[in-house]
Amino acid sequence: METEYGIFLELGFSRRKCVICGKYFWSAKERTTCGEPPCDRYTFIGNKIVPRSYTVAEMRRKFLDFFRDTHGYVKPYPVVPRWREDVLLVNASIYDFQPHVTGGYAKPPENPLVMSQPCIRMTDVDMVGITGRHLTGFEMMCHDAFNYPGKEVYWKEGTIRYCNSFLTDGLGIDPVHITYKENPWSGGGNAGNALEVIVGGLEVATLVFMDMAEDPDGKMEIDGIRYSPMDLRIVDTGYGLERLTWLSRSSGTIYEAVYPEVVSRIMEAAGIEPMNEDWLLAYLDNAVHSEPYDDDKVLRNTIAAISLNPGSDEEKEFLSHLTKIRSVYALADHSRALLFMLSNYVIPSNVKVGYLARMLIRRSLRHIESLGVDITLPDLINMQYKHYIDIVEDFDTGFSEMLISRELGKYREMMTSGRLLLDRLLRSKKEIGTKEVRMLYESHGIPPEIVKQLVLERTGKKLELYGDERQEKKEFHTKSPAITVPRIETRPLYYDDKSIREFTALVLFSGPDYVVLNQTAFYPEGGGQPNDTGYIYYGSRGFRVTNVQKVNGTIVHWIDGHIPEKVRVRGIVDDDRRNRLMTSHSATHLLLAVTREVLGNHVWQSGVQKGTETSRLDITHYDRITEEQIRKIEKRCMHYIMEGREIKVKMVEWNSALKKYGFRLFQGGVPLSSKLRVVEIEGVDAEGCGGTHLDSTAEIGMIKILKAEPLQEGIQRIVFASGYGSLEYFEKIQSITDTVTGTLAANIDEAGERFMSFFEQNLRTKKERDSYLGLISDIIDKNATNVQGHENIRYFPGEFPEAVVTQLIPRLKDKPYTILLIVRSGSGRRLMAVSGNADSASALRILSGGLLNIHGNQKMSYIDIDAENERLISEFLNRRN
């Protein structure tokens, strides 16, 4: 390491080993500890290590300007990483370039680059406002370099030199306050050596030298995972904008440094005075050195340090004041994190990133309630926006206010029902555990953190939960049988020319019922577009193609038979199926763009499945789509269809595509490639897509929405038909219409009025019939008499037509006895038993002594009355009380 980090010697730093944690570090002065808590204490609070104070905006500008002459500036990415499928939120600046750049598929947007990336981390949300330093939202500033073989930008020496120069020359920090702590880093499938940069006890940056990739056979092991060297060596730095701002202002907590106006506004609205500075510093000193954090212990140690008597009024005042200030700090933090989320159109829900937004909203609403302030959450978010307008573009305040208003109503309703449910549980159980918490969330939508709060309110006990109590359900579809095939490159002829339906190919690999070809016009299922079908001919025999899938990158064709390897075959794609799928795919793109036009910019594709007759599109939207909106969407789609907008497909270099089209490209899956296949409907929509498409919107013909309904909270499903599918739908409607008009003897214009007249007349008839049946049921109930010796069997004299009894049965089943009736059925007669609480056949069996054949079921059975058993049945019926 002496040689690897030799630049430190030139800068006047020496390598030492911390006597407490045992880690190696570099410092410009003699010291025995690494400088980071809990090995050391904060020395910057109340001590001006940075000569001047900076606001967040000033510190961001200072950092970007310092590197702008030598690094290319990159605008911040959204906090919702729609270019990735593995994470919900951006946790670090390097997330912007994973996996396409870090994996070597695409070039970075600049090299080297500098940026300030908003991030959100929810792992420490319970610590926010409590420790004085934890945040959910933050900005990670970075200067990164991507070193390719034969083209090095800068590595460890250059990184350390830049960092030290920014801290000393840029911010004017004396090197004696700086330590660089050696600590290997790993994450996201990569690893490397790293340096934690500590100033005055506060970690302000991390310098990662990412040069290893995860490999089961690798020789280097970090945290139980093996790694091997990779060709691309990446300098991944992360400077905490908020921590550097805090360092410069040397305030008691990070919140006063980062959100001074917001904190002051909340404290003023709540009527809270600043805490006694000695008390606050004593509390923070104990909080910093609690690892892992133990709130009870921190409070005990603080109370002892400031000499408060346990149980005294002074201690109660301190704890009450601290509780309020914690709420102020948490509210300031959460409102900014929500600004970042809502600017990306996150819709609160009970799943995925929507759950995280809802959690922050509800935590914020709880803090507003506890403080009793006359300030709203949208007010605070809008205050934050004024300070972050440089990095948050086009924030839709109306959308934000509408969503939070809806959430406020749901929150109040949930809290009311939650308290009732919890009280009921507490009455029946002594303890609330994981099982009950999960039930409250899954069945009633009450999140675990709310349950914790309610348990604390009701019992005064802190509920300990381990792990995430949510269960996010995902849909899995079996695409193909599990097989093992070699990695073979098949030329996709459907990309060369989408009109190709016949082709010849060589069989490169063969299984019992599948083949891999050197080229194919059969489209494999992907991106919501089903696979092509058709035939592969070998010799004189045609093998039906039933399925086409990509298996680990290899295109596999499933067939109804076996074709040997190394033979030539001829393939024919089902033309009608392909054309229909191309139509529905292009229609899906158009429909998505139009729903965004009509409903708002918060609309994103959530799921999709194209079909030959009907298709479905799932979109993010906070409310049920109305009939009026459906008609508007259909008319707008028809407008673009009639205009015949050109549909272009082109391959665009990754960064050029982002620069031109933005992150709306990522509506579905994200390919790992240097170029993005962009499907653009002229002037309407552009999406990254691997499917097959038409040449013009005119070829779609028509889009008809068949149904729109909520799929889950925040997601609406649209079922639609397009092209020939629309025609077939209208043919069905026409057939139904012809039947209705023919039955009503009315033309199409009169049918509606005639039908309503018929319906109202039928309704009156039904009411009269129900009244008549009710009257008969009452007569039977009052006049039926018990059969002798059997209190639960009654007989009503007289006979009924079978049609009447059939309608009476539902009413008679409600009686607490078995009723016997004589029923006329055609030219014959039956003794029928109807039971509401017993086996009806049992009554007949008892009465007949088991001599006669009994038909029917448990609720209704009967005996045919014929010449042979007429006398026997008559005797049964005459045995009445």
What is the structure's pLDDT at 442?
67
More confidently predicted of 607 and 860? 607
| DSSP state for residue 167 in the 8-state scheme | I
Q: Is the separation of the CB atoms in 78 and 90 below 8 Å?
A: yes
Pairing outcome for strands 534-538 and 519-520 = unpaired
What is the structure's pLDDT at 734?
87
CA distance 524 to 533: 9
Task: Tell me the backbone φ, ψ of residue 751, rounded to 5 degrees.
Answer: -60, -40
Task: Tell me the backbone φ, ψ of residue 229, rounded to 5 degrees.
Answer: -60, 145
| DSSP state for residue 646 in the 8-state scheme | B
What is the structure's pLDDT at 469?
37
- Residue 625's identity, in one-letter code, is I
Structure tokens at 703: 């889009």
DSSP 329-344: HHHHHHHHHHHHHHTT
Over residues 334-367, the pLDDT tens digits come to 999 999 999 999 999 988 899 999 999 999 999 9
What is the structure's pLDDT at 724?
94
CA distance 623 to 629: 11
Residue 583 has pLDDT above 60, yes or no: yes
CA distance 58 to 118: 16
CA distance 666 to 679: 11
Which helix (H) or strand (E) segment holds residue 429: the answer is none
Task: Tell me the backbone φ, ψ of residue 796, rounded to 5 degrees.
Answer: -115, 120
**Own/partner pairs for 657-664, CB < 8 Å, 24+ apart?**
657/688, 658/109, 659/109, 661/686, 663/77, 663/78, 663/82, 663/83
What is the structure's pLDDT at 260?
95
Structure tokens at 693: 């498409």
pLDDT, mean over the chain: 88
- Residue 769's identity, in one-letter code, is R
Question: On the CB side of 511, how many CA atoms lie within 13 Å of its CA?
Answer: 15
Residue 607 has pLDDT above 80, yes or no: yes
Residue 568 has pLDDT above 50, yes or no: yes
CA distance 329 to 386: 19
For residues 256-262, average pLDDT: 95
| DSSP state for residue 236 in the 8-state scheme | E
For residues 412-441, average pLDDT: 78
Sign of CA dihedral 767, 773, 776, 777: negative
Q: Is the separation of the CB atoms in 818 and 795 below 8 Å?
A: no
Structure tokens at 57: 């905006």
CA distance 75 to 377: 28
Residue 477 has pLDDT above 70, yes or no: no
Residues in the chain: 881
What is the structure's pLDDT at 835?
77
Residue 880 has pLDDT above 90, yes or no: no
What is the structure's pLDDT at 478?
38
- Please list, in sequence order, all residues whose beta carbon lies within 8 angstroms of the beta carbon of residue 755, skipping any fewer than 6 positions away: 740, 744
From first CA to last CA, the distance across the chain in angstroms is 107
What's the burial of 790, exposed, middle or buried (CB within 10 Å: 0-12/13-18/19+)? middle
Over residues 843-854, the pLDDT tens digits come to 777 766 665 677
> Measuring CA to CA, how many Å separate 760 from each of 321, 350, 623, 746, 751?
68, 43, 33, 17, 14
Coil, strand or helix: which one is 191? Answer: strand
Closest CA to 363 of 314, 318, 329, 391: 329
The residue whose two tokens read 């298996």 is 551
What is the structure's pLDDT at 457?
73
For residues 682-710, average pLDDT: 95
Weakest mean pLDDT among 362-376, 514-528, 798-812: 798-812
3-state helix, strand, coil in the chain (%, to 5): 40, 25, 35
For residues 285-298, average pLDDT: 84
- Please list, in sequence order, all residues whose beta carbon lies within 8 angstroms of the beta carbon of residue 829, skipping any fewer than 6 positions away: 799, 822, 823, 864, 865
Q: Is the separation of the CB atoms in 535 and 573 below 8 Å?
A: no
Q: Is the separation of the CB atoms in 519 and 493 below 8 Å?
A: yes
- Residue 401's identity, in one-letter code, is E
The rounded radius of gyration (Å) of the Cα atoms in the chain is: 37
Residue 161 has pLDDT above 60, yes or no: yes
DSSP 530-572: PPP-EEEEETTEEEEEEEEEEETTEEEEEESS---SS-EEEEE
For residues 247-266, average pLDDT: 94
> Measuring CA to CA, how many Å separate 123 from each of 252, 348, 450, 566, 672?
23, 18, 17, 55, 29
CA distance 810 to 824: 19
Over residues 116-158, the pLDDT tens digits come to 999 999 988 989 999 989 999 999 999 999 999 999 999 999 9
Pairing outcome for strands 818-825 and 790-801 = parallel
Question: What is the crossing angle of helices 724-744 and 748-783, to 10°?
Answer: 60
Q: Which residues pair with 517 in a beta bridge?
A: 507
For residues 213-227, average pLDDT: 86
- Residue 484's identity, in one-letter code, is T
Closest CA to 638 of 723, 575, 701, 717: 701
What is the structure's pLDDT at 479?
45
The order of strands in the sheet holding 647-653 is: 647-653, 675-681, 685-688
- Residue 613's identity, in one-letter code, is E
CA distance 349 to 359: 9
Closest CA to 136 of 403, 328, 341: 341
Residue 765 has pLDDT above 90, yes or no: no
Task: Give the pLDDT band of residue 468 (cuts 50, 70, 90).
Answer: very low
Buried b (16+ CB within 10 A) or exposed e, 48-59: ebbeeebbbeeb
Q: Is the separation of the CB atoms in 162 and 143 below 8 Å?
A: yes
Residue 549 has pLDDT above 70, yes or no: yes
DSSP 767-792: HHHHHHHHHHHHHHHHH-EEETTEEE
Residue 247 has pLDDT above 50, yes or no: yes
- How many other CB atoms are found less than 10 A from the CB of residue 427? 7
Q: Is the separation of the CB atoms in 532 and 577 below 8 Å?
A: yes
What is the structure's pLDDT at 474?
35
> Measuring CA to CA, how many Å separate 238 from each of 58, 63, 494?
18, 12, 44
Q: Is the separation of the CB atoms in 449 and 359 below 8 Å?
A: yes
Task: Give the pLDDT band of residue 481 (cuts 50, 70, 90).
Answer: low
Weakest mean pLDDT among 152-166, 178-192, 365-379: 178-192
Residue 466 has pLDDT above 60, yes or no: no
Task: Give the pLDDT band of residue 476 (cuts 50, 70, 90).
Answer: very low
- Residue 464's identity, in one-letter code, is E
Q: Is the separation of the CB atoms in 20 and 33 below 8 Å?
A: yes
**Alpha-carbon torsion angle 753, 757, 763, 769, nearest 10:** -160
